[in-house]
């Protein structure tokens, strides 16, 4: 699998998850990817919303919303969605830099796409963590 093939698969899934977070519709996230084992939609919502409150952020931005980069950053080399294809052929991971009000907020959403026994790619939210 190439990175471009992975992007075609990952982008709509990541877009739907990020948009659910932006719309505060956390219950719908499970329609697009499995949550980490032992984490409910309510727990995922509580953690995400707590992060917003603790950092005095209004909300998460929708997928693809414009992001203001620091002057030192080269916009031509910055990707908000990064893909990592596994060398062993097991699948790939996608990392999306979350933003709030047009500013990156130090949170990364990681979605892993792994092949099942029937060679179907199954998306799983691996983590959402602070840089």
Q: What is the DSSP string of the chain?
A: --HHHHHHHHHHHHHHHHHHHHTT-GGGGGGTSBPPTT--HHHHHHHHHHHHHHTT---PPPTT---PPPTTS-TTT--SEEEEE-TTSSEEEEEEEEEETTEEEEEEEEEEEEE-TTS-EEEEEEEEEE-
Query: What is the average per-residue pLDDT within 76-93?
Result: 89
Domain of 14, CATH number, reads 3.10.450
Summarised one tens digit per residue, pLDDT across range 2-31 is 999 999 999 999 999 999 999 999 999 999
- Whole-number pLDDT of residue 25: 95
Q: Is the pLDDT of residue 72 over 60?
A: no
- Whole-number pLDDT of residue 114: 96
**Proportion of the chain above pLDDT 70, given as a percent:** 94
- Whole-number pLDDT of residue 53: 92
Instruction: Please state the pTM of the whole predicted model.
Output: 0.91
Number of independent structural domains in the chain:
1
**Proportion of the chain above pLDDT 90, given as a percent:** 74
Range of the domain at 35: 3-130
- Whole-number pLDDT of residue 71: 56
How would residue 130 be classed by pLDDT, with cut points 50, 70 and 90?
confident
Query: What is the average per-residue pLDDT within 71-91?
Result: 80
Query: What is the average per-residue pLDDT within 41-60?
Result: 92
Q: Which residue has the higher pLDDT, 70 or 57?
A: 57
């Amino acid at each position: 699998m190439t990175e471009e093939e992975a992007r075609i698969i990952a982008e709509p899934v990541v877009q739907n998850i990020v948009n659910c977070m932006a719309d505060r519709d956390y219950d719908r996230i499970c329609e697009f990817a499995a949550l980490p084992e032992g984490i409910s939609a309510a727990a995922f919502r509580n953690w995400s919303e707590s992060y917003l409150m603790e950092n005095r952020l209004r909300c998460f931005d929708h997928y693809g919303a414009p992001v203001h980069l620091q002057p030192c950053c080269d916009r031509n080399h910055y990707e908000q969605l990064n893909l990592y294809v596994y060398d062993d052929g097991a699948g790939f991971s996608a990392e999306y830099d979350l933003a709030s009000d047009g500013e990156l907020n130090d949170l990364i959403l990681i979605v892993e796409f792994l092949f099942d026994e029937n060679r179907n790619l199954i998306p799983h939210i691996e983590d959402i963590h602070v840089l």
